[in-house]
A and B are shown apart, each in its own frame.
Chain A
């Protein structure tokens, strides 16, 4: 808490919300570029720690010296490492992540094409976790030490300890293989809806194609449930703790002593305070979610960034891995930026 928050115009009930959001955004944006640059240097360094010779690998055993030199020039590895780094930075600044050593296609294009699949999955999982996790967290706190609280606690402890890829396989085993209720893998049968946003759910709604929508949702269920389990556990845990803190606070005590009905106090007052803690965790939750997406996409053959990364790993395509790392870092930094801003908005004590 530093001093008074900026005041709003007279006549508005929300003092200086826009102002505060602006200050916060600028503050965070200032760090955005250096952080990304640092990340870039780190990933570049990582992928150049070992003087591996991927070119020889691509060229094959029978390549001539000229062929190898030509390939080296094509991938830009004929120059000294600092020059390569500089070129790479220049390239990334222009949206060029280099060329995949495996597919020989521009990495940026591949990544952008796959980003919506991962984001759609992540969003659905986050929404699912919030919509279910927050009310359950409140219930667990309000009925503290009831059987419901204990059951939910087992749920959260499990969610935080389970390996996502194993949980994915178990779900697949049961619902896709044994029961046949859901598709085993993939994002859609056939071509999918006409791409507008790249989010299949949105696109099939836009196209008015209910059949595809059902198919898309069917494919979405297992991966989304897998991803949301640990996220839901985290959200539930923090909501519960936040609600308990608030319930035991003096301001709730005051409200109750003044005869404001308990349900009003809990659902209108306490929840807002509790959610401050929960929102701060969304960044963390989202990070874990993206991390889990790598393996979950691999299990469900979901054509997103994670699957791309796994394929790059299998093909020793370090350019691909670098691109993946950078884009994941960017998404993660942006999400945390949004979290910080919304935190500043719902907590008036936060002045940036």
Chain B
């Protein structure tokens, strides 16, 4: 395990773009954890200074101030916590639901597995964000509901992937052999199939993080995310619109943050795919 990790890290370091992606994500995590230390006005998520509203970027306010006179830079750092929390929990839940569903549906060939796959196909038949909007709208704006809406609509992606990979893994000789030797279904799934498909799941999950962050930002932008005065990035951009074009910094900074973070996950995901999954190697890295 340690060997594998070390191998992975070495490979990643040698792929410049993947390394850049990893760097951006590390930075995001550091920023989120150390937000109170790194921010110049740590109280500004909750404290407002109306006389200082809409100030342009300066030495005191790196990215200016917002409509409440709060420091945009500091709020950005705290917003990173929300982004990470949403992405990690939502993706985690989707993976935890999607993998067992995909495994079971892929391993057994009966009506249960057909039903499971048909249900995930229905979810996949609509753009994911459309369903997420519907769910988030019903549940009401909050960070928990965003997570719920995202997990409820994301799990089928993993179910589909794991299903397809399981079906093909079952054709591998050694899996066939262990079934023939009488290994129990769970033993086969967990000891043989799961390790076999972990590469594609890891790759899909990494790229899925980027997608989730984008979707979460859309929900925030539509007012379905955590309510004001949350420093969530999507909401901040929505708030900034009525102060354009004068307060350009207000809209620009959070969008740039989303852009960087999503790009980080995408680059890392592409890099991981090259390393872990040579079959689907991008022949060039468009």
A touches B (Cβ under 8 A): yes
The residues of A with any CB-CB pair to B shorter than 8 Å are 34-35, 38-39, 42-43, 46-47, 49-50, 52, 137, 140-141, 144, 149, 152-153, 156-158, 160-167, 169-170, 172-173, 177-178, 236-238, 240-241, 244-245, 248, 287-288, 290-291, 294-295, 298-299, 309-310, 312-314, 316, 318, 321-322, 324-325, 328-329, 332-333, 336
A35-B121, A157-B266, A244-B284 known; A46-B133 Cβ under 8 A: no
- Measured CA separation A298–B140 after assembly (Å): 19
Task: Write the chain A residue with the least CB distance to B241.
Answer: A169
- Measured CA separation A156–B133 after assembly (Å): 27
Residues of A within 8 A of B284 (CB): 140-141, 144, 149, 240-241, 244
A295 engages B286 (CB within 8 Å):
no
Give min CB distance, A108 to chain B, whole Å: 17
Residues of B within 8 A of A152 (CB): 286
A39-B122, A152-B286 known; A166-B222 Cβ under 8 A: no
Interface SS of chain B = helix
Give min CB distance, B66 to chain A, whole Å: 15
Give min CB distance, A166 to chain B, whole Å: 3
Within 8 A of A (CB), among B89-145: 118-119, 121-123, 125-131, 133-135, 137-140
Within 8 A of A (CB), among B180-224: 210, 214, 217-218, 221-224
With contacts defined as CB atoms under 8 Å apart, how many contacts are there between chain A and chain B in the complex? 165
In the complex, B38 has a CB within 8 A of chain A? no
Residues of A within 8 A of B140 (CB): 50
Interface SS of chain A = helix
In the complex, B263 has a CB within 8 A of chain A? yes
Q: Which of B4-12, B41-49, B158-166, B254-262 contacts A (4 or more CB under 8 A)?
A: B254-262
Task: Write the chain A residue with the least CB distance to B17.
Answer: A157
- Measured CA separation A178–B129 after assembly (Å): 32
In the complex, B171 has a CB within 8 A of chain A? no
Task: Write the chain A residue with the least CB distance to B123.
Answer: A42
Please tell me the number of chain B residues within 8 Å of chain A, measured between CB atoms.
50
> Which of A169, A172, A178, A316 is most buried by chain B, counting CB atoms within 10 A of its CB?
A169
Residues of A within 8 A of B129 (CB): 291, 294
A172 engages B244 (CB within 8 Å):
yes
B130 engages A291 (CB within 8 Å):
yes
- Interface flags for B251-280 (1: CB within 8 Å of A; 0: not) read 110110011101100110000000000000
Q: Which of B137, B224, B251 contacts A318 (CB 8 A)?
A: B137
B223 engages A38 (CB within 8 Å):
no
Task: Write the chain B residue with the least CB distance to A39.
Answer: B122
- Measured CA separation A241–B259 after assembly (Å): 24
